[in-house]
Structure 1
Amino acid sequence: MDTCNYCQSNSPLETLWVQCDLCPQWVHVSCVPIKCIYYGPSKIPQRQVSEYPKVSKDIAGFHCSNHGSEGKLYVKAAKMKRRRSSDDQKTVNSPKKRYSLRSRQQIDYIALNEGDDVKLKHIHPHTDAFLDCFKRWENTTNFITAKNFHDKFASLREPLKIIDPQNSGMKTPKSSEGQPLTVEEISLILGDDYPVDVMDVQTQQNERWTMSRWNQYLTQTKAESRDRVRNVISLEVSHIKNLNIERPIAVEENDLVNVIWRSMGHGDEKPKVTRYVLMSAGNSYTDFHLDFAGTSVYYNLISGNKKFILFPPTESNLKKYADWCCDINQSAIFLGDLLTDGVAMELRAGDLFMIPSGFIHAVYTPVDSLIIGGNFLTVRDIETQLEVVRLERMTKVPKRFTFPNFDLVMGKCCEWFLSAAETDEEADRNLRDLISPKALHALIRYMEDPTTKYKPIHQPSKRMLIKRLQELNRI
């Protein structure tokens, strides 16, 4: 929402803008009534200020008038008292910046798009760089049959497209007419009031919508009439009974949670990450990211078109990714120009795509698209998964964007590994053998971390569980 709701203008000539902490609304700082500007918000009682803040660093937070009669702007008292430096003066004179002032750093993609009088709301600023990078790394050879994918799963380490998805075991719901599923059908199944997190592609920030609002936006509004480009990428539906999604057989058999829950479940609920519906408007762009906990991904394109650029989790690539995540200028950097050994692949309707653990990737959607996919941990990738979790902690990824109950899964994995070492079950022994000494050492280190919380099922304590793993690792 890029029109100031005080003056109803979107003029970029105003010096300073601020975004509401509670919704996507932007306003001119100078339009907020002076009587609604306070020191705080931690100052009790609140005291009004006598002048407007001049630079973004002076601002502590903002609630727009959608959340109160006239809204409230909070400034930092210490910052208001200091003398402005020459660098601050340069900031004051700059007309082209907007600042998001939420509790965690946000990426200001809107600012990258602004000219003197036009904001490009329908093209992400990295689109051209993405397409150039796609040409550089385009791959037309990473194809495999469903049978080979199943039989050779343990040794596969590259993104692959399944050439015969009908033989993979993957099954998705059909519309009432027997045609491929549509957003409208999903809206009917979930219900009009079902909540969905909708990403604004320009800001890469989420807001909460209802399914009926999303359906109206994507199905009933022409692309040229949409206010922004938006994307739904986190709608998990494994608990929805009327959305019967069957994953590829290779995924079901190699999902670490499935493997360990057979003997170590003990009534605990499985993490809900297995089945997602993704719905993207044309020109959607999802910037480079790692799937939580380094999970592998299956990705079935129901309709539309997708372009992926993926980079392997080499030490160099992960280091550059971590540096980029922590860079205050992240939004101005196209990470694809810094990483190496890329794989770029295009997906069309009906394609089934498999992404292995730890691949750093970005996605561009040329046209409206619907996808069904999901995430899964594997025995094969223990070491990579733990390295990604370490990066998540280092870069302070919010808990809601991490793998649910990961400590529980890793603790159960340790107990399953000890049990599998003593079992006569061939399937368990074969999977156990995929955990290399190096991977087991990484697992032990993870469990030794005092922040890792787990109460063992078959061992008297976490310390005893670790001791038994260490003994086994020395054999």
Structure 2
Amino acid sequence: MKSGAAGPGRGVPHDMRDELCPACTESDSDHQNDVDTWIACSHCGTWYHVVCVRLTNWDDYDKWYCKTCRDSLPLEPKMRAPRRRSHRARPVTDYAAVQEGKPSDPIGRWTTLLAQYKDWPVRVSRVEGSTWTSQWLSTSLEPLISPTLVPVPTTQDLENPASHIPGMRMPPRHTTIRDVAQLVGPDTHVEVIDVRTQMSSRAWTLSMWADYFETPVAKREKLLNVISLEITGTAMQRMIEAPAMVRENDWVERDWPMHRRPCHADDEARKWPKVQRYVLMGVQGAFTDFHIDFAGTWVYYHVVWGHKMFLFAPPTSANLASYKAWTLSAQQESEWLGDRLQQLTKVEIRTGETMLIPPGWIHAVYTYQDTLVIGGNFLTDHDVAMHWRIEQMEAATHVPRKFRFPHLVRLAWYVAYAWHKRLSHGTSAPPPRIMEGIAQLCKRLELDVVKMETLPSASKGYKAAWDAVPRDVIRDPRALLQELQAHCKSRNVPHKRQRRYYER
């Protein structure tokens, strides 16, 4: 995962990441969503957000000048020279050269791997849609030990391929990218990833994105990808309903107060985690390199139309250590992480199919053909220790805050408060796996309570811990935790998380 400068000029100074540029205003809503993509004037050196100066192809400039300099001096932007096309066959990626630090083409690397490794093992559970219930999630090991795929029944009407999964509603198969743009808003800015560089920009609108997507494959000058368009609060929301199993167990859906979920919130105090309804739009040949979804969330993933391939690795201690080392490595762009991962497995997903990805699984994604996907991230009580483990890894690897689960600790406090109420009012004991999750939740929040009790009130650590507590419902965090921990102790909750089969 990368962030930082784009185009002419040096890298963006770290202390500029949250500043405004000369072309944006305090009220510019796009500013907060694109603080990592800047371009510097090649004459005066002033930095601008690419979204504010309306650049969609910022990485193609060799020299770029701001309006002030262009108006006062005879300056013209200069584009990078196009690469000379070769009619020679592209060579196979030399991984010995990669290990020596020589650069490799990331797109060529993926196509080479697909050609060389056709027989990756396939470890995926295939279940009927009716299997997806809260009971299954709470008591079966199946959803935790491998990705789970729900195929389209042979008798299923493809116009409504999601109806066989309880409570799930998805857009019909004939939905187009232009439809998405109209429903969400054609002028809505969307974060677009350049597959070659893995850099992103919000200079695109959905109308521009639809124009690009409708361009014939052979005429597309770049491979681009959209994987972070969240559509809650738009007209498209009524077309999408996550499976009932997801909604019943999702911490946000279950425990974040409804009156604190405004469709649009300008101030930080009123914002909430909107991560349940993503629209992903990938063109043929696009890929996303190995990653773990923020906070190691569960993911539900439905292909409206198209064809994708996932490479998965379970979150064993060895695999997570390899992933962490690769993330911190200067050779990340030229090193194939798959060589370091154990139990790598391939899963293909096609039109009308739906997949559940367990917490913390490392995965990469390749798009075989143009694809429209609806997906969502969610946290549950079922593997809380993994969520905190990934949270710690994100901090250790310096993942920018914009790529982390929003308001995670505040959400955890709401969950703790809700469980305290349920257990205090005589709710029957939940399944052992859930009680184990509550105990792990307390263990994580204990860290913040200790910060509030020991750190100076002016310190950043104290302020972050204090601000995360929802004071409208929790007045004494320590007392709440002690009572919740007592509930866990009275039910003989195990102190250690049960190991999965792939960890043995």
> TM-score with structure 2 length normalisation?
0.68
How far apart, in 1, do the equivalents of 2:254 and 2:431 lie? 12
2:391 corresponds in structure 1 to 389
Tell me the percent identity.
29
Shift of 1:465: 2.9
Structure 2: gaps of 5 or more residues: 1-6, 13-35, 48-61, 78-100, 154-161, 263-271, 452-460, 491-504
Counterpart of 1:218 (choices 213, 220, 240) is: 213
How far apart, in 2, do the equivalents of 1:424 and 1:474 lie? 15
Are residues 470 and 171 of structure 1, via their aligned partners in 2, closer, same or farther at CA, if it must alter by over 3 Å? closer
How far apart, in 2, do the equivalents of 1:273 and 1:189 lie? 18
How far apart, in 2, do the equivalents of 1:71 and 1:410 lie? 53
Q: Highest Rg: 1 or 2?
A: 1
- Aligned pairs for 1:440-451 (under 5 A) are 440-445=442-447, 448-449=450-451, 450=461, 451=464
Counterpart of 2:128 (choices 145, 148, 163) is: 145
Are residues 194 and 414 of structure 1, via their aligned partners in 2, closer, same or farther at CA, if it must alter by over 3 Å? same
1:206 corresponds in structure 2 to 200
Shift of 1:181: 1.1
Deviations 1:361-395 (A, max 9, x none): 00000111111111111111211111111111111
Query: Which moves more between the two structures, 149-158 or 306-315?
Result: 149-158
Are residues 436 and 404 of structure 1, via their aligned partners in 2, closer, same or farther at CA, if it must alter by over 3 Å? closer
Shift of 1:431: 8.1
Shift of 1:226: 1.1
Deviations 1:134-177 (A, max 9, x none): 632334x5201122232411232120101354311321223xxx
Are residues 135 and 65 of structure 1, via their aligned partners in 2, closer, same or farther at CA, if it must alter by over 3 Å? farther
- Aligned pairs for 1:320-359 (under 5 A) are 320-359=322-361
Are residues 71 and 407 of structure 1, via their aligned partners in 2, closer, same or farther at CA, if it must alter by over 3 Å? farther
Task: Tell me if the contact between 1:412 and 1:456 (Cα under 8 Å) persists in the aligned partners.
Answer: no
* 1:464 aligned onto 2:479: yes
Counterpart of 2:110 (choices 114, 126, 129) is: 126
2:64 corresponds in structure 1 to 64
Task: Tell me if the contact between 1:382 and 1:443 (Cα under 8 Å) persists in the aligned partners.
Answer: no
Are residues 66 and 19 of structure 1, via their aligned partners in 2, closer, same or farther at CA, if it must alter by over 3 Å? farther
SS at 1:435's partner residue? helix
How far apart, in 1, do the equivalents of 2:428 and 2:174 lie? 39
Counterpart of 1:237 (choices 208, 222, 231) is: 231
Are residues 307 and 432 of structure 1, via their aligned partners in 2, closer, same or farther at CA, if it must alter by over 3 Å? closer
How far apart, in 2, do the equivalents of 1:276 and 1:253 lie? 18
- Aligned pairs for 1:178-327 (under 5 A) are 179-208=173-202, 209-219=204-214, 221-243=215-237, 244-261=239-256, 267=260, 270-327=272-329
SS at 2:120's partner residue? helix
Are residues 356 and 134 of structure 1, via their aligned partners in 2, closer, same or farther at CA, if it must alter by over 3 Å? farther
Counterpart of 2:469 (choices 445, 454, 458) is: 454
Task: Tell me if the contact between 1:171 and 1:246 (Cα under 8 Å) persists in the aligned partners.
Answer: yes
Q: Which amino acid aligns with 1:285?
A: F
- Aligned pairs for 1:1-40 (under 5 A) are 36=43
Q: Which amino acid aligns with 2:109?
A: P
Task: Tell me if the contact between 1:133 and 1:337 (Cα under 8 Å) persists in the aligned partners.
Answer: no
Shift of 1:214: 0.6
Task: Tell me if the contact between 2:302 and 2:352 (Cα under 8 Å) persists in the aligned partners.
Answer: yes
Q: Which amino acid aligns with 2:120?
A: R
Counterpart of 1:173 (choices 163, 171, 174) is: 171
2:31 corresponds in structure 1 to none
How far apart, in 1, do the equivalents of 2:297 and 2:63 lie? 37
SS at 1:368's partner residue? strand
How far apart, in 2, do the equivalents of 1:385 and 1:275 lie? 20
* 1:159 aligned onto 2:147: yes
How far apart, in 2, do the equivalents of 1:162 and 1:326 lie? 35
How far apart, in 2, do the equivalents of 1:239 and 1:447 lie? 34
Task: State the Cα RMSD in Å.
Answer: 3.3
Shift of 1:347: 0.8
> TM-score with structure 1 length normalisation?
0.71
Deviations 1:305-350 (A, max 9, x none): 1000111111111111111111111101111111112231001111
Shift of 1:460: 2.7
How far apart, in 1, do the equivalents of 2:393 and 2:76 lie? 38
Task: Tell me if the contact between 1:201 and 1:230 (Cα under 8 Å) persists in the aligned partners.
Answer: yes
Shift of 1:357: 0.8
Are residues 466 and 283 of structure 1, via their aligned partners in 2, closer, same or farther at CA, if it must alter by over 3 Å? same
